[in-house]
Structure 1
Amino acid sequence: MIPRVLLSTLLISATQLLVGQNASEIVRKADEMMRGEKSSYSEMTMRIVRPKWERSLSFKSWSKGTELSLVYITSPAREKGQAFLKINREMWSWNPTINRTVKLPPSMLSQGWMGSDFTNDDLLNQRSIVVDYNHTISGEEQIDGWDCWRITLTPKPDAPVVWGKMILWVTKKHYLILKSEYYDEEQLLVKTEMAHSIKDVDGRTIPTIYELIPAEEPGNRTIVELNAIKFNIDINDSFFSLRNLTQVK
């Protein structure tokens, strides 16, 4: 007969393992819901709002799996042609004005992308939330009437990530991330992202507007609207190359 104390310990360990596996599976499904299980192509408009000004830019984005992504700026005219590439853990930017490709060092991952509240890491490092963090279900809440899991993400040892902790609210139906909180290494809230305007697009139900709000900068926010998206398109790995970074349209 197994001693009661040992049995309780085994049951607790098994439960914790099961919850951990479920949390990771939820995050993976939520990530694939917006990226596609294999690949995706999207067209978006970003509006950067500040207390005394605002501006907009549009861009195209291609991704394949969690290791390959490419972003191309389509407007405004003064920034059109700039492009960004990620291959595995390496990232580059291309600026046609100066005819130069620059490899982005890890120190630039936390910098604002195109002057927005999104970082280079947010836009390009698509593998991060699935691969670089441990996942734990830390509660259940409703967001805008949707029943959600609250999942806490903590970085794995030596993971090359920007955030000290993330908290995601993922809907139990459709696996949509409706709210994300980003914390620094001191566990202070840096910014909150909210998803809105849920619609049926290309065969799946997804949010089409994202709003990012910094915690310490009143009046600042960045809104991204999804204008078009296609999931699981045919795209060769060779598309994601330094050569194509300078030629993509």
Structure 2
Amino acid sequence: MKVGATIFFILSFLRSFAQDAREIVKKADEKMRGSTMQAEMTIKIIRPAWAREMECKIWTKGNNLAMILLTAPAKDKGIVFLKRKKEVWNWMPVLERNIKLPPSMMSQSWMGTDFTNDDLIKESSIVEDYDHAVIGDTIIQNRSCYIIRMISKPAAAIIWSKVILCIDKKDFLELHSRFYDEDGQLVNTMNSYDIKLMHDRIIPTRFEMIPADKKGQRTEMIYKSMIYNNPIDDEFFSTEKMKNLN
């Protein structure tokens, strides 16, 4: 009986710990997203021999609706990406057509950056598509952080087999992330900086993605402005709206 009670206690404790880890990740995700979010952002692509910048506007609503409009440079202006639930669409002004992106393209580079299509458009969910566990703690930027291991669920069609997150214990800020492929090899590392008040919350405003196997290469994503929780109709996130978003 004592052995049985001990096993039950251990299993209950582990389930509680896993639930806590999931709740931590959920809070961090909701902190960045809000119920809705509108933002303006600069993206800097940095390579050993060159660099270039893009400007874009972003609208999101919950986990299932997102729109990204490129506003600069001129050659990319008017390109739009739309996410509706598990569908992802791309409007190309030059072709005057919408293209539905297949799931196989989620692992591909987004507009030549070190972020994937999935990183920007969020087809997968860091809350629903992974099993979570707190595996330790650390200090980043003088902030005490949880170290959380996320293992992809067998049924989830996602590109990372494992993700390690470091999330601030006080403000639930995702400050460091490592992304691993199905062979357990590190692919990308993301660091977050420039924590400041944006609209109604404290968040990181500069994110740096660094590929593991490409020396001197990185991409920076810098939020210039953000507005949270302003109502956005679901109808805004439509393939028709993509065509005249300018």
Residue matched to 1:29: 27
Match of 1:162 among 151, 159, 163: 159
Partners of 1:4 and 1:177 lie apart in 2 by 41
Match of 1:218 among 215, 220, 223: 215
Q: CA deviation at 1:157?
A: 1.6
Say which SS state the counterpart of residue 231 (structure 2) adopts. coil
Say which SS state the counterpart of residue 95 (structure 2) adopts. coil
Match of 2:196 among 199, 205, 218: 199
Alignment of 1:73-84 (within 5 A): 73-84=70-81
Say which SS state the counterpart of residue 63 (structure 1) adopts. strand
Answer yes or no: is 1:43 the counterpart of 2:71: no
Residue matched to 1:18: 16
Partners of 1:44 and 1:98 lie apart in 2 by 25
AA of the residue aligned to 2:17: V
Partners of 2:122 and 2:7 lie apart in 1 by 38
Residue matched to 1:72: 69
Say which SS state the counterpart of residue 55 (structure 1) adopts. strand
Answer yes or no: is 1:104 the counterpart of 2:104: no
- Aligned Cα RMSD in Å? 0.8
Partners of 1:123 and 1:165 lie apart in 2 by 18
Answer yes or no: is 1:143 the counterpart of 2:140: yes
Q: CA deviation at 1:78?
A: 0.7
Q: Deviations over 1:115-147 (max 9, x none)?
A: 000000000016511111111111111111110
Match of 2:206 among 200, 204, 209: 209
Note if contact 1:45-1:224 (Cα within 8 Å) is conserved in structure 2: yes
Q: How many correspondences in the alignment?
A: 246
Q: CA deviation at 1:99?
A: 0.9
Residue matched to 2:113: 116
Answer yes or no: is 1:62 the counterpart of 2:59: yes
After the TM superposition, list the runs of 4 or more consecutive aligned residues in structure 1 that deviate by more than 2 angstroms.
Answer: none
Partners of 2:119 and 2:111 lie apart in 1 by 12
Partners of 1:230 and 1:173 lie apart in 2 by 22
Answer yes or no: is 1:234 the counterpart of 2:231: yes
> Any unmatched runs of 5+ in structure 2?
none
Note if contact 1:67-1:127 (Cα within 8 Å) is conserved in structure 2: no
Partners of 2:171 and 2:221 lie apart in 1 by 21
Partners of 1:52 and 1:157 lie apart in 2 by 41
Q: With the length of structure 1 as denominator, give the TM-score of the two structures.
A: 0.97
